[in-house]
Chain A
């Protein structure tokens, strides 16, 4: 047995994701990161929202919580505050995290509460059959954007950084091994960490956008993901669909539960 397999609930597999879906690759990167850090399964909690990606929690052998749509982050905040010794990892999708859960996302970043959010970004609402999300690129088609998306997507990494996150990284399902390290660094950061993991949804996204197979989408990732240094050298014309991957931002900042521990100390001393 490969050492990371102990972090999976093998009796719950095979998973329910479609053939060609990248979510399994991202989930594997998470368990490999857990293995690399030798995370204690009894003191790590995985919290997810609703959507394809959020089903990952059920396959992973920790205390796991599959919450309501958009609400994974505030549930996770409660767990972390209740027992700061726990490592808390949030698994979420583009709709779950940045649309219905957008407010929670920015506020958890603002507080810098020690959570690691792994955002599975497949650019679409997969589970409901391919509706536009707020991370669908302009011009890409979805069942609710049959002529192509008109509204501009967020850059969730920029959003997290602006809101106060202390570790922000982006990886892809194609760059699976580097993703493991990006996640491991996120988990190690004592504060709010975002790892945006670009993943492929051939069924609900690729088929409508001339990339009908998982391979097509992985090739798209290979061709468009560039390092941050290379990305910064690109002219506006050269950027096109290109995006930076790797660690995008890091900062030292007081972590919420440590700060609240000081409040408790003050209150107990009657100050």
Chain B
């Protein structure tokens, strides 16, 4: 069995990506994500992998996309300002269906903001930051150990659905150290690169969707001579101006994710047996929220908690069911109120949704969230 280690969230994230088969990293230094690049620079060449520090954030994702097309499993890591720059090629990854994982260790924005302070202000950017219609998978861990698991999951989802996957760390989890016991390599399930199932002579087209609506474009250098483009393309991979192909492509990109939405919606429930109120939290904030719920329970308030690990696609069904069970849902976030909008939409008026935003560059205290819970219990729903 692996020994217990004191490890940082960023380090666990890097280790998880390596365990899932990542053998290529490209990026650009940025606080508070730099440790991931530093670990990759050191570890990748020890087993023949490749690390490169690029000239800017855009090149940091471009180089990974190129490497992935040539058969590697790729990761890049950044924070808010770099995440903004990477949006262009996240969209490229969506339409050209290139598996890639982008870690965003969130810090206070906009712009340079507070580089060393935590925030959760990139939740909506993760969903809608690149232009055009596209699905998105974004996962947000709440512990160091889960940063490892989320990285494994993210790499596997990227490969399985051939799509960019975003890991939304925040500075709390990324820079926190905890005692962790990592799983044995043999216990980690790794999704292999999808490969062509037939030859050109047998009618292989790189962008023909398989049964799961995901295509199997060949790796470069394997004799298939495929064409990859960011233009709307048909099954051959070549661009077309056809309205039908455009519509079918955009729909398929969405459906390849929406059809597995339940499977990829990961969340925890706490104290949900006899509840009147609930706290819905994610990432670093959910650690404080959990303490607050314990405090409130000690005070006799019937409050439970939902902790989302999957941020996108949004856990509509979970929130809908929750809103039928409780009177009020409190949503603490380290931003001006972002994911609360999705909670409101999904609860569709069934429960009162209350935003608890915090955007002063400091993390919540359990007392703050507990006071907000106490307020929920006092105020009567009109």
Contact = CB atoms under 8 A, between A and B. Distances in A.
A57 B234 CA distance: 17
Interface residues of B, number: 43
A85 B71 CA distance: 13
Contacts of B58: 71, 74
Given A58-B239, A66-B228, A104-B59, A75 B46 contact: no
Interface stretch (B31-39, B60-68, B140-148, B185-193): B60-68
Contacts of A103: 55-56, 59
A61 B89 CA distance: 25
Contacts of B69: 65, 75, 78-79, 82
A43 interface: yes
A79 B229 contact: no
A82 B62 contact: no
Interface string B58-98: 11001111111111101000000000000011001000000
B50 A68 contact: no
Nearest to B220: A63
B225 A65 contact: no
B57 to A, nearest CB: 11
Contacts of A79: 66-67, 69-70, 220
A268 B43 CA distance: 10
Contacts, number: 135
Interface string B99-133: 00000000000000000000000000000000000
B88 A63 contact: no
B70 A78 contact: yes
Nearest to B64: A78
A83 B24 CA distance: 11
Contacts of B68: 78, 82
A12 interface: yes
A248 interface: no
A236 interface: no
A78 B225 contact: no
A31 interface: no
B63 A78 contact: yes
Contacts of A263: 45
Nearest to A260: B50
Interface string A73-89: 01111110111011000
A84 B48 CA distance: 12
Given A58-B229, A58-B238, A86-B70, A75 B48 contact: no
Q: Which 3 A-B pairs have the closest CB atoms?
A: A78-B66, A74-B62, A267-B45
27 contacts: A45-B221, A58-B229, A64-B227, A66-B228, A66-B229, A66-B231, A66-B239, A68-B62, A68-B92, A71-B88, A74-B58, A74-B66, A75-B62, A77-B54, A77-B59, A78-B67, A78-B68, A79-B66, A79-B67, A82-B24, A83-B71, A83-B221, A85-B221, A86-B70, A107-B54, A268-B45, A268-B47
Given A74-B62, A85-B221, 4 more contacts: A42-B222, A65-B66, A268-B45, A268-B47
